[in-house]
Amino acid sequence: MYVAVKGGERAIRNAHQRLAERRRGDPATAELELNQIREQLGLAVDRVMSEGSLYAPELAALALKQARGDSVEAAFLLRVYRNTLPRFGYSEPLETARMAVERRISGAFKDLPGGQLLGATADYTHRLLDFSLAEARALDSQLVAPADEAPKGGTSDGGTSNGGPDGSAGPAAPTAASSETAAGAAVPRALDLLGDETLIETPPDADDGPVPDITREPPLFPAGRAQRLQTLARGDEGFLVGLAYSSQRGYGNTHPFVGELRQGRVSVEFTPEELGFAVEIGEVELSEMETINQFQGDAEQPPRFTRGYGLAFGRAERKALAMALLDRALRAEELGEEKSSPAQDEEFVLEHADNILSTGFLEHLKLPHHVDFQSERELLRALRKAWDERRRQAREAAE
């Protein structure tokens, strides 16, 4: 008898069992521990938190383990879990200017107050498979003292912490040696330096009005910038990167410079109603990107630089950079630019950025559709019969 999509409970139970076996792999190998994932696959954890919209490294590691390393599935697990949590309220806006900066670079500025900090990056390594990693080994953790780097002068007020290796840096020679700046010490944003000259716009939508929440009210189009940034922040990294890339190649041209990328820890503050003042409830690691983009100006507005903004949980600078490019590209209409490319099309970008939605709908094609298929089959049979009849008549008429 026909069993293709039926079989119910038992089939599902068996699928779960097989999945569990697949997940475990060869039982002769050691089972992954969550702290190994969290500590050693940190970027995967960060991506899952970002797309899962929940800052919870431990749970993201669990999700990755459960999803067998599938980051989209892991983000989905985290999103669903997120919905079972009570909502106590909204935090105060994060003060990224007071970030304990671990990494901070600018492509636009040769030098900037606060210094450039290279942090932990693979940017200047040669991408060769390191066969020495194939075996477990102790970490050779000697940081090079800044004196050995022979900085070419310049500022060194990078704000050091804990008396560790000094974080000073010369222009265009950021140091990797710094631990990070002291938490809470303000490191001025690079773009504020341009603001003094009025060459760059003030940040758009800087007012303090109520911020809409895309998880409570579905965004209708045209959406505001807040909804746009919220959607991009939880959007699929691959989708964002592809679209941002298209805008670099001429499908909408955003002329971006990296004004500043900063990475580090920011404290999260919350104001309980009964207290009436903000208290720190924890901290999150963030990547923040501000791009500087050209703007030609028009009769009303002088030529000036404009901004794009990207923010993501954890160490996710590729995501943050793509987001900043798209934020700027999506401002085409607001800035009176010709809107001709996918990356400039708000509804197109925002409606398709979420990988939990897109994956779900794509994969739902695996569900049974035989009722609709049967309807189509009957229809096609009828259409074909009519078509054959018409052909036959046409042939007879011709003879």
Partner 1 sequence: MTAESSRPRVPQGAGSARPGYNYAFLDEATKREIRRKLLKAVAIPGHQVPFSSREMPLPPGWGTGGIQVTASLVGPADVLKVIDQGADDTTNAVSIRRFFAETAGVETTTSTRRASLIQTRHRIPETPLAEGQILVFQVPLPEPLRFLEPRESETRRLHALAEYGSAYVSLYEQVARHGRIAQSYDYPVMVGGRYLMRPSPIPSFDNPKLDRNPALLLFGAGRERRLYAVPPYTPVESLSFEDRPFAVERSPQACDLCGATDSFLDEIVADDAGSRLFACSDSEYCNERQRRLGRSVVAP
Partner 2 sequence: MSGLVQDPATAGGEASGGLLRPGFAEPALDAQRCFRTLLSAMAHPGRIHALDVAIEPPARLMPGSAALCLTLLDAETPLWLDAACADEEARAYLRFHCGCPLVDDSRAAAFGLVGGALPPLGDFAPGDDLAPEDSATVIWQVEALEDEGPLRLSGPGIDGIRALGLAPLPGHFLEERARGHAAFPAGVDLILVAGSRLVGLPRSTRIETAGEG
Footprint on this chain of partner 1 (rule: CB under 8 A) = 1-2, 5-9, 11-13, 16-17, 19-20, 23-24, 66, 76, 79-87, 215-218, 220-222, 347, 351, 356-357, 359-364, 367-372, 374-379, 382-383, 386-387, 390
Write down the least CB distance from residue 389 to partner 1, Å.
10
Token code pair at residue 385: 């019969």
How many Cα atoms occupy the beta-carbon half-sphere of 142 within 13 Å? Answer: 3
> Which of 42-50, 129-137, 181-189, 271-279 is the region at the interface with partner 2 (rule: CB under 8 A)?
271-279
- Of 223, 258, 249, 216, nearest to 345 (Cα)? 223
For residue 282, the partner it binds in partner 1, partner 2, none, with Cβ less than 5 to 8 A by kind, is none
Write down the least CB distance from residue 18 to partner 1, Å.
11
| Closer of 245 and 373 to partner 1 (Cβ) | 373
Asked if 211 is part of the footprint of partner 2 (rule: CB under 8 A), the reply reads yes
Give one DSSP letter per residue of 269-307, joined into a string. Answer: EE--TTT-S-EEEEEEEEEEEEEEE-----SSS---BEE
Write down the least CB distance from residue 137 to partner 1, Å.
30
Asked if 21 is part of the footprint of partner 2 (rule: CB under 8 A), the reply reads no
Asked if 272 is part of the footprint of partner 2 (rule: CB under 8 A), the reply reads yes
CB-based burial, 86-122: b 16+ in 10 Å, e otherwise? eeeeeeeebebebbbbbbbbbebbeebebbbbbbebe
Write down the least CB distance from residue 87 to partner 2, Å.
6
> Which of 12-20, 60-68, 87-95, 281-289 is the region at the interface with partner 2 (rule: CB under 8 A)?
87-95
> Which of 5-13, 266-274, 299-307, 309-317 is the region at the interface with partner 2 (rule: CB under 8 A)?
266-274
Residues 6+ apart with CB under 8 A from 149: 170, 173, 175, 177
DSSP 85: S
Token code pair at residue 83: 């919905």
Asked if 357 is part of the footprint of partner 2 (rule: CB under 8 A), the reply reads no
Asked if 93 is part of the footprint of partner 2 (rule: CB under 8 A), the reply reads no
